[in-house]
Structure 1
Amino acid sequence: MNLVWLRRDLRVEDNRALYEALQTHQPVTALYIATPEQWQQHHMAPIQADLIVRRLGALRDDLDALNIPLLYQEVADFNQAAQVVSEFAEKIKAHTVWVNREYELNEQRRDALCEQLLERRSIDFKSFHDKCALYPGQVVNQQQKYFKVFTPFKKAYLKQFYSQSLNVLKPSVGPDHTLPDALHSARFTPESTFSYSRQSSEQWPVKTDEVIHRLRRFCAEDADDYHQQRDLPAYSGTSCLSPYLAIGALSVRQCFARLAYGLPSLTEGREVWQSELIWREFYQHLLWFEPKLSRGEPFLDWGRRLTWHHNDSDFEAWKQGNTGYPIVDAAMRQLNSTGWMHNRLRMIVASFLIKDLHINWRHGEDYFMQHLIDGEYAANNGGWQWCASTGCDGQPYFRIFNPVTQGERFDPDGEFVRHWIPELSEIPDKFVHQPWKWDRVNLLSYPAPIVDHKSEREITLELYKQAKDGS
C-alpha cells in the first residue's frame, strides 16, 4: 500500500510522486491536510483557500477514476500535519509515503519531521523534485554554485532544458482496493471541515479539463502576441495561469510542453512567456539555496541597513487605492476586488510603496499574499525584493518607476484606470494619469496625490546610498 501526501501539487497528470507510487502497481491512497493556523502565519489569501478547496473536489473525481481515494484532515499546523501523515500511513498499512518537495523553510522542516516519525514506524518516505522543470542543483555555474543573475541562469537553464526530453507524466489506473472502515469518514467530501476563511474564486474554473483548456487556448490564441500585449493591463494579454501553478493544478512542464507543441521553434511572444516561466523557476531555486529568504531577510546584506519611514495613513491609502496616483490606485482596487493583479501593475505599486512612500517592502509582500489568488512565496518574495533592489538580480536602486509615466505608457487611453476608478470616468484623456492638472479637478471626488513623486525619489536615492555605503 502507498500513501501519496498532496500539498501544492493538486493534479493527477504530471505529478511525479503520484506517478512513481502508481508504478509500484500496489494500491494507492491520497491524502490532503488543511493547516489553517499555519496558513494564517503564511498570510494565505482567502480567495486562494477557496480555490484550493474547490480544486480538491475536482481532484477527488480525477483520483477516483484512477482507483485512488482522497482522504482529508484538518489540523492546526505543519507539525500536526506530519503527525497525521504518520498515523494515516500506519492505519492503511502503507509501506511508503510519497511526496513532492517544497522549498520553503517551514515546509522543509515539516517534511523532515514527517520522515523521522515514519522511520519509527518502519515506513519509507520518498520525495521528489517536481515543482520545477529543472530542480535546484541542476542549473549551476562553472564553479558548481547557484546563479545570482537571471540572464546567465536562463542561458544555462535552456541549454540544460533542451538537452533532455520533456516528459509529461501520464498516470496509470491503480489497483482497486478498500479502505479500512475506520477511514471511510476521512474521505474528502464537499461537507468536509474547512475552517479557513474563504472568498469566492468562482471566476476561476477548477475542473482539470477546464484548466487544460485555458492553457491550450492561451498557447493557441495569445502566446504569439504575448510580448506585445503582456504589459497592457486593459487587455487580457497574459496567460492568467499563475493561480493554477501556485496550487499545483498545472505543472510548469505542462506549460512548457504546450507552448512548444507542434512547433519547430518558438516565436518571440512564446519566448517571452517561456522566459517568465523560467523567472518562476529562478526564484524557486533561490529558496532552496538561501533559507534566509524564507525568514524574510533581504538577499543582499546591505538591505538590512535601509531606513523606512512607515506612515500608517499612507499605507492605508496604498492598500485601499486612494494615493491620488490613478495607475497605482486602479491596480490596488483590482487586487482588493478580484484577488488578481496584472504583472506590470505589481511592479508599479510595489515601487510606489517602497520608493515613494518609503514603507518596508515586507509589508507589501504580506499584503499581496493576503489577497492574491496566485500567491506563491518564492515568486512574491522575489518580485518584492526585485522592486526593493535588495533581491537576487533586483532592479538597480536608482531605477524608480514614475507612476504617471508608467500609466501613460501602459494605459495610454486610461481604459484600465477608468474601469477601476469611476470617479475619473469623465476626465479628459490628457489628464487621466495626473488629474491634479485638470482645471476642473475640484469637481472630482478623487484624492490629491499623497506625496510628490519627484521629491520622494530624491529621498529614496539618499536612503539607498546611505544603506549601501554602510552609513
Structure 2
Amino acid sequence: MNKNLMWFRNDLRIHDNTALHNACLSNIDEVICLFISTPKQWKKHFVSVKKISFIYQNLISLKKELLKLNIILYYYECTDFLSSIEYLFYFCGKHKVNSLFYNYQYESNEKDRDYLITQKLSMQGISIKGFHDNLLINPNKIKNKNGQPYKKFYFFKHTIINYLSENVPICFPIPKKRILCNKNNIDRIYFSKNFHINFNQNLFPIGEKEAIKKLKFFYTYKIEDYLVKRNFPSLNGTSMLSPYLSLGIISIRYCLQILFKKYKKKPLIDTLHTPWINEIIWREFYYHLLINFPMLSKSQSLFKWEKKINWSNNINYLNSWKNGETGFPIVDAAMKQLYQIGWMHNRLRMITASFLVKNLLINWRYGEKYFMSHLIDGDYALNNGGWQWSASIGSDSTSYIRVFHPSRQSEIFDKSGAFIKKYLPSLKIVPNNYIHNPYEWIIKSKCQIDYPKPIVNYQNSKQKFLLEYKLAKSFYNKNKD
C-alpha cells in the first residue's frame, strides 16, 4: 500500500481532475491532499484580492467534497514559492508520502518551483507524476507541418478543430470513496483577515457544483442566443464561467464534452455555436503560446520590434483610465465595472485595452498588470495573450492594425446607453442620442454634470499611435543583425 499526495493548485475540483484521478486509481492506496497558499507570491504576481478571496472560499467547498470521499485536504500558508518547496518537502516526510501527483502550471516561476521540488523529492525516492490537465489537448500534439508551434490563431484553430473532430476529450469521473482515511487532527483552513468574502456571490457562487450549474444553465438558456447577445454588455449573454476556469473549479474538457453530448458534435460545424467554441479555442491557444514561448511569462512579446516603440506613458492619462475618467463613456463604464465586481465583459476588455495602448500610447504592460490586480478571473495566459493581441504585437492574424473607436463601439453594442448609465449614474440625465458623446451635450445644454471632457482627440491620438508603430518597425528592420 502506498500513500499518494495530491497537490492542488489551479485545479480546485474533484470531477475530471487528471492528477486526482490518477492518485486514486488504486483502491488500496491512501490518498491525502494539500494546498499551499503563497500570499507574498500572489502579490508579486498581481493576483487580485477578490480572486484570493474566491480561492479561499472554494477551498472550503473543495475540502467538504473531498471528505465525502474520505480524502483529507491539508492546508498551509507560507510566503512564496521558495518556502512552499521547503514545506512540501517537510510535509512529504512527515506523512510518509510515496508518490506526488499534480497538474502542470505553465508560467515561468511555477515551472521553476515544480522543477526544484521534483529534483528534491526524487532524491528521496518519491515518485513524481505531473499531468496536462488545464488544456483540451496535450501541447506536444499541436504543431504545424514543420513541427513548430503556431503563432497565429487562424491556423491553430483549424488544426484544433480537425483534432477534436476525431478525438473527443476524455473526462475522468469523481473518484470512488476511499477505504482508508485518518481523520484525526485534520488541519482547518485558516483565513487571513483580509481575505474574507469580498466578491459578489450572486454573480460568482462558491463551489464546483455551482460552476456546473452555471455551465448547464448557459447551455440550456443562453447558448442559442450567444452569437447575437455575446457582444452586448447589458444583456448578460455570456457564461460568466471565467473565474471558475481560471482556478480549475470546472474543467475545460468537461465544458466541451457536455456541449458535444447536447449537440452530438454539431458545434464544430454549426455556425450558431461557433462563437462559443471559438472562445474555448482562444483559451487553448493562449495556453499553448505560453507553453511554447516561455518569454511571454516574462513580459516579453512575440515580436522584437515592440521594444522600439516610444511609449508616452503619461501618468495622468493612465490614472484617468484606471479611474474611469477618460471622457469616453464606454471606456469609463467598463473600468468602473472592473473595479466594482472584479470582472469585465470581453468586448469591453478589447475596447479599454485598445484605448489605453492605441489612443493614450501607454505600454500594454501597465494595463496587463492593472487588470490582473482587479480581476476575479485573472489568468496570466489569457490576460497576457489578450493584451498582446489588443496591442497588435502578439498573435493577431490580420495584416492591419485594429484600433477600436470607443464611441462607435458603444453606439453599436450599447446603443441606448443602458450599460453606460448603470456604471456612470451621473450620465442618466443625458439624452440617448448624446450618451456616447456626453460632453457635446454638456456644452450645448450648459448643464453641470460631474463628467470629464475627453482627455484625447480620438483621431489625432490614433494617427500618433500608428506613426509610432511604423517608426518602431522601420527602426528595428534597419538595425537588426
Smaller-chain TM-score bracket: over 0.9
CA deviation digits over 1:78-116, x for unaligned, max 9? 121122222211211111000000111111001001101
Counterpart of 2:221, as a letter, is: E
Distance 1:56 1:441, change over 3 A: farther
CA contact (8 A) 1:67 1:173 kept: no
CA deviation digits over 1:5-27, x for unaligned, max 9? 00000000000000001002211
Distance 1:470 1:180 in 2: 66
- Pick from 333, 336, 341 the counterpart of residue 336 of structure 2: 333
Task: Return the TM-score normalized by structure 1.
Answer: 0.96
Distance 1:129 1:410 in 2: 38
Distance 1:51 1:375 in 2: 11
- Pick from 33, 38, 41 the counterpart of residue 38 of structure 1: 41
CA contact (8 A) 1:228 1:269 kept: no
Q: In structure 2, what is the equivalent of residue 389 of structure 1? A: 392
Q: In structure 1, what is the equivalent of residue 65 of structure 2? A: 62
Q: Which moved more, 1:149-158 or 1:6-15?
A: 149-158
% same residue: 38
Q: In structure 2, what is the equivalent of residue 101 of structure 1? A: 104
- Pick from 452, 455, 467 the counterpart of residue 457 of structure 2: 452
Distance 1:463 1:441, change over 3 A: farther
Q: Secondary structure at the match of 2:368?
A: helix
Alignment of 1:369-408 (within 5 A): 369-393=372-396, 398-408=401-411
Counterpart of 2:345, as a letter, is: H
Q: In structure 2, what is the equivalent of residue 137 of structure 1? A: 140
- Pick from 25, 28, 34 the counterpart of residue 23 of structure 1: 25
Q: In structure 1, what is the equivalent of residue 77 of structure 2? A: 74
Distance 1:2 1:142 in 2: 40
Distance 1:196 1:282 in 2: 35
Shift of 1:197: 4.7
Q: In structure 1, what is the equivalent of residue 245 of structure 2? A: 245
Q: Is residue 2:417 matched to residue 1:414?
A: yes
CA contact (8 A) 1:46 1:198 kept: no
Distance 2:196 2:331 in 1: 26
Shift of 1:426: 1.1
Q: Which moved more, 1:361-370 or 1:141-150?
A: 141-150
Shift of 1:443: 2.3
Q: In structure 1, what is the equivalent of residue 213 of structure 2? A: 213
Unpaired runs of at least 5, structure 1: none
Distance 2:40 2:135 in 1: 27
Counterpart of 2:461, as a letter, is: E
Counterpart of 1:462, as a letter, is: L
Q: Secondary structure at the match of 1:470?
A: helix
Shift of 1:72: 0.3
Q: In structure 2, what is the equivalent of residue 122 of structure 1? A: 125
Shift of 1:296: 0.3
Distance 1:234 1:247, change over 3 A: same
Task: Return the TM-score normalized by structure 2.
Answer: 0.94
Unpaired runs of at least 5, structure 2: 477-481
Please give the root-mean-square deviation of Cα atoms over the aligned residues, in Å: 1.6
Q: Secondary structure at the match of 1:118?
A: helix
Alignment of 1:245-324 (within 5 A): 245-264=245-264, 265-266=266-267, 267-324=270-327
Counterpart of 1:449, as a letter, is: P
CA contact (8 A) 2:168 2:257 kept: no
CA contact (8 A) 2:356 2:362 kept: yes
Q: Secondary structure at the match of 1:345?
A: helix
Counterpart of 1:210, as a letter, is: E
Q: In structure 2, what is the equivalent of residue 470 of structure 1? A: 475
Q: In structure 1, what is the equivalent of residue 56 of structure 2? A: 53
CA contact (8 A) 1:74 1:194 kept: no
CA deviation digits over 1:371-429, x for unaligned, max 9? 00100000000000001111122665632111110110110111100111111101111
